[in-house]
């Protein structure tokens, strides 16, 4: 009997941790179950170990473990499981076994509504629900946008090292290099909203959606609608192209090139322009209102805000709830608010450090493999990779997650109380040179991490003594 062959595609919004953790988990599970597997990763550097048409044709099944667009249309007609990337990390054997047992449905790109009724909404198959599709489209935009925000934010912050007004030619502290850094970084920030909108639309409507999304995002950016306007423009652009594709679906095949190069961009840009003309003003008001509300809340209730941000960041360690806080912080960062992101970053850095410190302080209650993983978590936590906490938390989530929420909340609350400013949404301690209040920020994170480590260590000690 020939060996079962499986192909897989993994991808997470940041393209740094979940993507490769899912890849490693699937490969390990495949080896254990005696299955051949090839995993294509969609990381921040792009597609690696790409699946060929031959790979897909010869595969007995497909596993799509992704929270972003991985061009799943190429799997139409194959038995496939479409699940969140976190499920690829937590239940790789279960997913592979479903392929082996031929329980995977035939993949339909259009929607989950095409699946038989009994196959919808089952955990094993991971549905293409409307909510999940919206999340994947949004995260595809966020994934492509992040490098612009990180690069732009760090360059702007570096310009401030020469003096807060060093980029201003009329100020006495003016420095030409500082001006170069500030202007170049500013361009990265200006492109953030158009790129976000473009790749939301690209996820929905492939390449035809890209240009319409860019234009919609530019209208949102120049009109002051900001991050929220970019999100709305991206989804509108994708929907407009979807409707145009339906409208022109009966045109002769020979006109496919004309549709792509002329009809879709001309009509798409026309319609997004008209719609955004009416939406920009109310979206700008909403954007300003949200920004002012959070800024006021931040000053008046840093404890409450820190608890909310801490709990959200630690709840699912890189999942949708965590990303909601992270995306909000990124949006405010683009608006010039560097305080909110400081708390989010602190809360995201803390969970891996909790387990890292616990394995050192309570060493005897962890086995060798866990202690080694704990040492790795010092690196993961320090570089803002929250997902390093997942293997520990997965062993007893009902105990570990509340402890992580407490620890992250402490770190976020102290960060807000100290008034720390962080100019980049990623990088962890690597961006310390450009953090305003760097010492206080590290102190806040260490206090939260050590509190969590002691709480988790006590739990492990009690569990060890009971055994």
- List the structure tokens of 412: 């976020």
Distance CA 386, CA 252 (A): 51
Distance CA 149, CA 196 (A): 11
For helices 264-300 and 302-315, give the axis angle rounded to 10 degrees.
130
Residue bearing tokens 């609350």: 413
Residue 308: partners with Cβ closer than 8 Å, 6 or more residues away: none
- Strand 46-48, strand 61-66: pairing: unpaired
How many helices (H) and strands (E) the chain has is answered by 18, 5
Q: Mind telling me the catalytic residues?
A: 12
Distance CA 51, CA 440 (A): 47
The residues that bridge with 436 in the sheet, in sequence order, are 421
> Which helix (H) or strand (E) segment is 374 a member of?
helix 368-382
- Going across the sheet that includes 80-83, the strands are 46-48, 36-43, 5-11, 61-66, 80-83
* SS3 state at 215: helix
DSSP structure class, residue 83? E
Choose among 141, 130, 128, 318: nearest CA to 228. Answer: 141
**95 within 8 A of 87, measured Cβ to Cβ:** yes
Residue bearing tokens 């009971």: 466
* SS3 state at 8: strand
Distance CA 359, CA 399 (A): 16
Residue bearing tokens 């423009």: 233
Exposure b/e, 289-320, CB count within 10 A at least 16 = b: ebbeebeeebeeebeebbbbbbbbbbbbbbbb
How many other C-beta atoms can be found within 10 angstroms of the C-beta atom of residue 235? 21
φ/ψ of residue 83, rounded to 5: -130, 160
Distance CA 410, CA 131 (A): 32
């Amino acid at each position: 009997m020939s060996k079962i062959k499986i192909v897989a595609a993994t991808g997470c919004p940041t393209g740094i941790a979940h993507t490769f953790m899912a890849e490693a988990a699937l490969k390990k599970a495949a080896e254990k179950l005696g299955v051949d597997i090839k995993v294509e990763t969609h990381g921040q550097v792009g597609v690696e170990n790409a699946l060929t048409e031959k790979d897909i044709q010869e595969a007995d099944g497909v596993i799509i473990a992704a929270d972003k667009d991985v061009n799943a249309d190429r799997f139409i007609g194959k038995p496939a499981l479409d699940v969140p990337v976190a499920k690829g990390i937590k239940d790789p054997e279960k997913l592979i076994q479903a392929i082996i047992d031929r329980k995977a449905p035939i993949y339909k790109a259009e929607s989950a509504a095409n699946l038989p009724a009994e196959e919808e909404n089952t955990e094993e198959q991971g549905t293409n629900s409307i909510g999940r599709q919206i999340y994947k489209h949004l995260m595809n935009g966020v994934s492509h946008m992040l490098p612009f925000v990180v690069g732009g934010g760090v360059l702007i912050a570096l310009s401030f090292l020469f003096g807060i007004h060093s980029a201003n030619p009329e100020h006495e502290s003016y420095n030409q290099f500082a001006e170069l850094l500030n202007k170049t970084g500013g361009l990265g920030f200006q492109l953030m909203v158009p790129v976000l909108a473009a790749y939301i639309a690209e996820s929905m409507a492939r390449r035809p959606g890209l240009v319409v999304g860019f234009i919609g995002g530019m209208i949102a950016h120049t009109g002051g609608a900001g991050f929220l306007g970019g999100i709305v423009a991206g989804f509108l652009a994708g929907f407009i192209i979807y409707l145009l594709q339906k409208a022109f679906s009966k045109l002769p095949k020979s006109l496919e090139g004309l549709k792509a190069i002329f009809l879709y961009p001309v009509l798409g840009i026309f319609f997004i322009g008209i719609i955004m003309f009416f939406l920009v003003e109310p979206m700008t008001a909403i954007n300003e209102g949200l920004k002012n509300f959070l800024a006021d809340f931040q000053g008046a209730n840093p404890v409450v805000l820190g608890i909310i941000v801490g709990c959200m960041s630690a709840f699912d360690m890189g999942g949708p709830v965590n990303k909601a806080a992270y995306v909000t912080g990124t949006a405010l960062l683009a608006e010039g608010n560097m305080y909110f992101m400081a708390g989010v970053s602190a809360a995201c850095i803390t969970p891996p450090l909790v387990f890292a410190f616990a394995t050192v302080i309570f060493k005897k209650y962890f086995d060798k493999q866990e202690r080694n993983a704990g040492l790795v978590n010092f690196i993961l936590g320090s570089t803002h990779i929250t997902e390093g906490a997942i293997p520990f938390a997965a062993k007893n989530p009902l105990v570990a997650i509340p402890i992580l929420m407490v620890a992250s909340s402490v770190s976020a609350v102290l960060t807000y109380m100290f008034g720390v400013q962080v100019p980049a949404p990623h990088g962890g301690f690597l961006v310390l040179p450009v953090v305003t209040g760097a010492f206080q920020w590290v102190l806040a994170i260490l206090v939260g991490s050590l509190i969590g480590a002691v709480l988790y260590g006590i739990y492990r000690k009690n569990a060890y003594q009971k055994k």
